[in-house]
Amino acid sequence: MRGATRLLHDILDDLEGGQPASAQSEKPDATLGGVLDRMDERGFGVLLLLLALPCCLPFVYVLPQIVALPMLALCAQLAAGRTHPWLPAQFRNRTLSIAQFRNVVTRGSKYGGWIERLARPRFKPVTGHLGGRLVGLLLLIPSASILVPLPSTNTTPGIGVAIVALGMIERDGLLVVLGLLIGIAWVALLIFLGAEAVQFIKDWLTTSL
């Protein structure tokens, strides 16, 4: 990955460089607020990407459910028409390990680097103000799925949110639409399979009694 990942690494470098010498000798931390304060108008996309990357990795638990809460808040703000992201104090002050998030960004780039190499500005109405409001509304669906602590509910929706975030950063409406399709289609599939499983169990219990 180039533009988005480079931006994230630059933010982490800036935060790490601003640590006191004693902190730099240990394991420096940052806060979500500190990351947010270093963002330009692409703040929603960058912050959503930062939060979605841990959800994209298989066999990662607990962290996806933690980051899903601020992710839902950001999506709601997009849907409400805000032009800059806002987080309440408890989320702004949440500490992040710079080293761990740098590792997540690096690992995530190995899986999705080809996506950003294809990104370019196109379908601009999708990433405009009105389009952004609809995108925020639709993003609530995969973000809510990530919040559910069950198998298969976070990796694919997280990938969908990450692709949408990349599209927002690069102003690529096609990537935004692709990410929404991936995230929402997967959630719809999980709901369908869950309903079928419930119906199967009900039928089995009925015939067994």
Nearest to 182 by CA among 165, 154, 151, 161: 161
What pLDDT score was predicted for residue 21? 43
The residue ranking higher by pLDDT, 18 or 181, is 181
- pLDDT tens across 95-109, in order? 777 787 778 777 766
* 8 Å CB contact between 173 and 181: no
Nearest-angstrom CA–CA distance, 158 and 147: 10
Whole-number average pLDDT of the chain? 81
At residue 65, the pLDDT reads 84
Enumerate long-range contacts of 102-110, CB under 8 Å, 24 or more apart: 102/9, 102/12, 104/53, 104/54, 104/57, 105/5, 105/8, 105/9, 105/12, 105/50, 105/53, 107/57, 108/1, 108/5, 108/53, 108/56, 108/57, 108/162, 109/1, 109/5
Average pLDDT over residues 179-203: 87
Confidence of residue 149 (pLDDT cuts 50, 70, 90): confident
Q: 204 vs 60, which has greater pLDDT?
A: 204
Instruction: Determine the Cα–Cα distance for residues 192 and 64; give it in Å rounded to an integer.
Output: 23
The tokens 């809510």 sit on which residue? 144
**Which of the two residues, 73 and 103, has the higher pLDDT score?**
73
Q: What is the pLDDT of residues 6-30, one digit of tens each?
A: 777 777 787 777 555 444 445 567 7
pLDDT at 178: 94
From start to end of 79-196, where are the E strands? 95-97
Give the separation between CA 162 and CA 85, rounded to whole angstroms.
17
Query: Which pLDDT value is given to residue 14?
Result: 77
pLDDT at 205 over 80: no
**pLDDT above 60: residue 133:** yes
Query: In whole angstroms, what is the distance from residue 5 CA to residue 15 CA?
Result: 15
pLDDT above 90 (res 180)? yes
Compute the distance between CA of residue 75 and CA of residue 81 in angstroms, rounded to an integer: 10
Task: Give the mean model confidence (pLDDT) for residues 185-191.
Answer: 91
